[in-house]
Amino acid sequence: MLFTNESGALIARRMGETLRIEPWGKDSLRFRATMQPAIEGVNWALSEPIGAIEAKIEIGEEPHWVGDGTVDTRPIASITNGRIRAVVNFAGVISVYRDDRLILREYYRAYEGTLSRGSRCLKVVNREWKGNIGGSEYALTVRFDPNDGERLYGMGQYQQPYLDLKGCTLELAQRNSQISVPFTVSSLGYGLLWNNPAVGRVTFGRNLTEWTARATRQMDYWITVADAPKQLLENYTAVTGRAGMFPEELMGLWQCKLRYRTQAEVLSVARRYRQEGIKIDMIVIDFFHWTVQGDWKFDPTYWPDPRAMVEELHAMGIRVIVSIWPSVDRRSEHFEEMLERGLLIRTERGAVQTYDYQGDCVEIDVFNPEAREYVWQVCKKNYLDLGIDAFWLDNSEPDYGVYDFDHYRYAIGPALTCSNLYPQLYSRIFYDAMKDSGDVVNLLRCGWAGSQKYGNVIWSGDVPSTFEAFRDQLQCGLNMGLAGIPWWTTDVGGFMTDDVNDPDFRQLLIRWYQFAVYSPVLRMHGDRGPYNIPPLDDRDWGGGYLHTGQPNELWSYGEANYAILCKYYDIRLSLHDYIRDLYAEAHENGSPLLRAMFYEFPEDARCWAIEDQYMFGSRYLVAPVFELNRFERAVYLPAGQWKLTATGEVYEGGRTVCVAAPIDYMPVFERIA
């Protein structure tokens, strides 16, 4: 192993690999390695300027047992930035320390004398590069020793019930309702960003941690240390970016359903809300208001005067957001030009098709700057110039017909090397063009590390309308926040409903809505059965042919439920100033609005194990009801005094209490001391 200090970075070279470790932000180090001639300069999620940082680099030797009873020396080097120190030994194995306490070490089980750990013949190394046949990329595996008793959080959104990810295997890939944001927070006081958009996998096993990239030219990860998760998020968002200030006029209700089919229907819903005395902040025009996918314009048959519609909605104080998909139907007026100019995703084999819902489609190649500019100019002309305020960037993973990532290729290379970055670049089509004209708030179904800085409200995807799925959404929101994404929402009641008249579904809707009131964005949405509403015409294209769901407005579920929904909307409005302050905190230091219990109480060991309640900011402890016909809840209260908002009764903390949870009330405690 050859060590050098090159302009403040520790460089290690061995067996064709170059390893570079350098300071990157407060108490943080960036680790890169390659089998190529040189380290590439792309920063991926590490987009923010860090300024000059002087690290301490030491290169020396350490004793080494040779095996014949004698002791030799081998090279060793270390780099220190504040509270974090990395040590690299002669075999290239990295050990990371926080305040001189070992927190992470690469997993190495090959014969190197004292490194053998009793496993001389396994030949398992810490960084494994396997060349992909016929290409310049490698399949990369990076392994770390496990830490017994460690808990791991973050990583974005996976549809499962586990908040603590220790023991989980997670695909590093984007899918509908799955969002890979590869930043993990450890209970041992460190955070690790896998700064690589390649498709892969991570396993947080009891016997080892293993990160893989199926095709990449470079290893790239970043580690920070701090005393508590709040400081880890602050360090992380300082180098990846923070959300802007969320507009106060969008902190109320967003009204949506699948789908408003006509201009008249949108206006009738808005007028009814005004008659009911309910102020909504945003109304959402969902998919297939267009002619065909890729035309990106209103179907004039059912939307004859969008400008007049928008003007009336604006007069009521309602903003308008429209659904945009990245798919381009072969029937689209733009398809041939975009295909000819290379603005669409390419396939490696067979027919040129990437998506097949309601048409034979190919999706746009957002890695091509010309494609981004082309789509923006069309959407500006057909939407923004008519007064549309925001864009709902659906299918933003993108939603492939088949998730065979080795079948697709982008302008910068194979999808396997970079596909996880797709949703972020998709959002930047609109953010980059709109950021200078005011607040940018667009709705997306996916994101990646750093997406928080591009005006993204990310929702949890097309999830079932079940209590089990509802329970999963809590950990989705909490782990998204711990991965640096504070603007998060979910479909109230779930997306897929068979029968809106089912009393069990209506109970689920109420419980989900109560949770959504104490979350960043309150948004009614869903595909509501039964599907007995006839189409508007018999064409196989345009705004009239596709089905629509049942009504999904607050008054759509009976008078008793309407009263509960209105009661909780009043609660939401009463929290306006508090929610505004939470958004300001997210902007200032990266803190999520939806917080795991340990985020506010890191010194309380019980809070690290609780997964069915959360903090909404620092003041409100929220205990959603996740079971049908459950009308009481056990709630753990950390030390201090807590007021039950239903009754005003004050409880001493440091214990679990059982409180009533009738259908019109979800237990919420206010922290008063």
Percent of the chain that is helix, strand, coil (3-state, to 5): 25, 30, 45
Whether the per-residue pLDDT at 6 is higher than 80: the answer is yes
What does the pLDDT look like over 230-263, one tens digit per residue? 999 999 999 999 999 999 999 999 999 999 999 9
Model confidence at 115: pLDDT above 60? no
From CA 392, how far away is CA 217, in angstroms rounded? 34
Q: Can you tell me the distance from the alpha carbon of 243 to that of 94, in angstroms, rounded to the nearest whole number?
A: 33
User: Does the structure show a pLDDT above 80 at 65?
Assistant: no
Q: Are 206 and 152 in contact (CB under 8 A)?
A: no
Distances (CA, A) of 522 to 55, 589, 610, 654: 45, 23, 24, 31
Q: Measured over all CA atoms, what is the biggest interatomic distance in the chain, rounded to whole angstroms? A: 90
Question: Could you count the other beta carbons within 10 Å of the beta carbon of residue 115?
Answer: 17
Q: Which residues of 540-576 are buried (b: 16+ CB within 10 A; e: fewer)?
A: ebbbbbbebbbebbbebbeeebeebbeebbeebeebe
pLDDT digits 0-9 by tens, 457-488: 999 999 999 999 999 999 999 999 999 999 99
Residues 291, 542 contacting (CB under 8 angstroms): yes
**Any alpha helices (H) in 158-243, and if so which ranges?**
229-240
Q: Which of 27, 106, 281, 397 is catalytic?
A: 397
Is it the case that residue 114 has pLDDT exceeding 90? no
pLDDT confidence of residue 66: 65
pLDDT given for residue 119 in this prediction? 52
Burial environment of residue 65 by CB neighbours within 10 A (0 to 12, 13 to 18, 19 or more): exposed
For 165-178, the pLDDT digits (tens) are 999 999 999 999 99
The verdict on pTM exceeding 0.95 is: yes
CA distance 312 to 441: 21
Strand partners, 11: 4, 20
The predicted structure's pLDDT at residue 72: 85
Q: What is the pLDDT of residue 599?
A: 98
- What confidence tier does 120 reach under pLDDT thresholds 50, 70, 90? low
Length reported for the chain: 673
The SS3 of residue 512 is helix
Residue 220 has pLDDT above 70, yes or no: yes
For residues 384 and 382, what is the distance between their CA atoms, to the nearest angstrom?
7
pLDDT digits (tens, 9 = 90+) for 349-379: 999 999 999 999 999 999 999 999 999 999 9
Q: Tens of pLDDT along 622-642?
A: 999 999 999 999 999 999 999
Whether 67 shows a pLDDT value over 70: the answer reads: no
The verdict on whether omega for the bond into residue 530 sits within 30 degrees of 0, i.e. cis, is yes
Instruction: Please give the single-letter amino acid code of residue 536.
Output: L
Among 286, 394, 600, 612, the active-site one is 394
Domains detected in the chain: 2-240 (2.60.40.1760), 248-447+510-587 (3.20.20.80), 596-671 (2.60.40.1180)
Instruction: Give strand ranges (E) for 349-476.
Output: 361-363, 390-393, 408-410, 413-414, 442-444, 456-459
The CA distance from 408 to 364, in Å, is 12
Known active-site residue 462: yes
**Helical pair 369-382 and 422-434, crossing angle rounded to 10 deg:** 50
Work out the angle at residue 298's Cα, subtended by the Cα atoms of residues 294 and 299, and round it to the nearest 5 degrees. 95
How far are the Cα atoms of 275, 460, 636 from residue 554, in angstroms, in the given order? 13, 21, 32
Catalytic residue among 462, 553, 600, 612: 462
The pair of structure tokens assigned to 622 is 């929220």
* Tokens representing residue 558 in the block: 């009976």
Phi, psi (degrees; rounded to nearest 5) at 515: -65, -45
647: pLDDT strictly greater than 70: yes
Supply the pLDDT for residue 543: 87
Q: Which amino acid is at 597?
A: M
The predicted structure's pLDDT at residue 212: 98
Asked if the model's pLDDT at residue 56 lies above 90, the reply is yes
Which 3 state secondary structure label does DSSP give 529?
Answer: coil
In 187-335 the beta strands, taken as DSSP E runs, fall at 190-194, 200-204, 209-216, 219-225, 253-255, 280-285, 319-324, 327-329
Q: What would the 3-class secondary structure string for 24-55 be? A: CCCCEEEEEEECCCCCCCCCCCCCCCCCCCCC
Site of tokens 């690999």: 17
3-state secondary structure of 305: coil
Query: Residue 217: is the preceding peptide bond cis (ω within 30°)?
Result: no
Question: What is the dihedral sign for C-alpha 232, 220, 158, 517?
Answer: positive
Q: Which of 459, 479, 452 is nearest to 244 (CA)?
A: 452
- Residue 63's pLDDT band (cuts 50, 70, 90): confident
DSSP string covering 604-644: -GGGGT--S-EEETTTEEE----STT--EEEEEE-SSEEEE
Q: Collapse the DSSP code of 599 into the 3-class scheme (helix H, G, I; strand E, B; otherwise coil) and give the result.
A: helix
Whether the per-residue pLDDT at 309 is higher than 80: the answer is: yes
Q: What is the mean pLDDT of residues 148-156?
A: 98
State the Cα–Cα distance between residues 667 and 308, nearest whole angstrom: 44
Instruction: Please state whether 640 falls in left (phi above 0), alpha (psi between -120 and 50) or beta.
Output: left
pLDDT tops 90 at residue 518: yes
397 part of the active site: yes
State pLDDT tens for residues 551-598. Answer: 999 999 999 999 999 999 999 999 999 999 999 999 999 999 999 999
Query: What value does the mean pLDDT take over residues 492-513?
Result: 97
**End-to-end distance of the chain based on CA atoms, in angstroms?**
56
Q: What is the pLDDT of residues 389-436, one digit of tens each?
A: 999 999 999 999 999 999 999 999 999 999 999 999 999 999 999 999
Q: Would strands 442-444 and 456-459 be described as parallel, antiparallel, or unpaired?
A: parallel
Q: Which of 245, 252, 313, 246 is nearest to 285 (CA)?
A: 313
User: Could you tell me the pLDDT band of residue 280, with boundaries at 50, 70 and 90?
Assistant: very high
Verify whether residue 394 is a known catalytic residue. Answer: yes
The pLDDT of residue 118 is above 50: no
202 forms bridges with which residues in the sheet? 170, 211
